[in-house]
Structure 1
């Protein structure tokens, strides 16, 4: 057993070292030259939350009436910022590191993984802020908090899978950046972040089926699961409370694994030619 472990460690030692250095470098360069530095990883989602809270909650009355909706909005904003950042930056990571690929030999996927891990570090910082704010914003912390790491892992798997696919396409087609920007914008408004998902059926009962359809989207399901388990299990619905069919409830989880598998498969198939194309 020890011999197998030593062989595994020796085999991937170099890759782990490169991965750590890339994560460290990317995170440091992200805020290089700015006065507040790493504090922007907290201030950006807080500022975005403030704008959305004033516009959509105070003026447009997008709320489910529960006291925890404000902190749920903040949590959703942080989670979406992670998905947005990890996929967008992961998409261009290979092209941005083209000079490194031509000089040093190491697994190309490390570049994409390091970029998404940098976004994960920012998310971890933001979630600490969410938890602290939750004590003053009527959050109800229960044992469900123990499930949050699994929900975060699922969201990371989705983001990594998408980032690998986009990174591969971006090497050959730069237009992918503009297309993905539009898709992200559409996904943001389709995901119940600035509005409660129950608002759909309340304002248009004939569209109650849309709630179930949205919950089938893996990103929506993962974000709602995090908010449910972290903020308030009583106030935040999940796919298990909106959809009665257990098999349908499992679809987003299966889709998450499939997205990651497709991302890895597509990336591995084309990564050998990246240095030549770049």
Structure 2
């Protein structure tokens, strides 16, 4: 016996989408208005009923910087081994802060918006994309502070310095979004994912040359491990930010403080980030039909 409604036989249904499934990230562009609403909601509610409001975007990185600078820079004398250590440190901290916030929020976003996922159909990719955009909005004030400090030190960027910054931002956005979609989709049926992400973020600051120089790793790590370390997207982004912001105000940094294959490592890191995004989107779409049921 046929399960198809006789009234529907012979109709062209090619223009109709399968319920619960969208067209992936590409469909986000068609829902730009809703994306803006989600971003506006998240940015408006984050500091609601807060006395300091948006100042918290400065307080956290300032506190991190102060702690790391005092402990590592003054107590462990890292400021003597790395010129302009304060600028070196802060240009790496803002990268890790963006990654940590975007990755963590992207992982929780579907669960946090379960009431929307259950009740209406919309491209579910909107939620991790909005989470990363909100993190980028919070990243901008920190970037502004970095630019002011760089200008104070006499920062005059070259074309290559600007290219390094843009490449670093692109890699950071793609990598963060890919991981957010991957772990965000897995977090719906398995809430252990967000706990696993917290463990990853514990190592994020130390797994890239934010608080130390990559040369310290090169002195003790075998070549194969050093290569893995250098193509880590987070390591690459931190290095590119150092190249763009710190090196122009530090004498001799371009010649001595970066690996010979910096741009090759950066290209591989971007490729890895794209692969992570593709895998994240694939897993997201595979689990998407069961999101409403699981939530």
Of 150, 164, 168 in structure 2, the residue corresponding to residue 151 of structure 1 is 168
Q: Is the 8 A contact 1:168 1:266 kept in 2?
A: yes
Q: Is the 8 A contact 1:67 1:137 kept in 2?
A: no
Of 115, 122, 145 in structure 2, the residue corresponding to residue 106 of structure 1 is 122
Matches of 1:113 and 1:46, distance apart in 2: 27
Matches of 1:41 and 1:270, distance apart in 2: 34
Mark the CA change 1:127 to 1:214 in structure 2 (over 3 Å): closer, same or farther. same
RMSD over aligned Cα atoms: 2.5
Of 126, 136, 152 in structure 1, the residue corresponding to residue 152 of structure 2 is 136
Q: CA deviation at 1:216?
A: 1.6
| Partner residue, 2:61 | 45
Which structure: larger Rg? 2
User: For 1:1-278, what aligned pairs fall within 5 Å after superposition?
Assistant: 15-63=31-79, 65-137=81-153, 139=155, 141-147=157-163, 148-201=165-218, 205-207=219-221, 209=223, 211-233=226-248, 234-235=252-253, 241-244=258-261, 250-278=267-295
Matches of 1:20 and 1:237, distance apart in 2: 44
**Does the residue aligned with 1:222 lie in a helix, a strand or coil?**
helix
**Does the residue aligned with 1:232 lie in a helix, a strand or coil?**
helix
Q: CA deviation at 1:250?
A: 3.6
Q: Normalization by structure 1: what TM-score?
A: 0.86
Mark the CA change 1:247 to 1:188 in structure 2 (over 3 Å): closer, same or farther. closer
Instruction: Give the gaps of 5 or more residues in structure 1.
Output: 1-10
Matches of 1:246 and 1:232, distance apart in 2: 15
Matches of 1:238 and 1:168, distance apart in 2: 43
Q: Is the 8 A contact 1:87 1:159 kept in 2?
A: yes
Q: CA deviation at 1:66?
A: 4.2
Bigger mean CA deviation after superposition, 250-259 or 136-145: 136-145
Q: CA deviation at 1:90?
A: 0.8
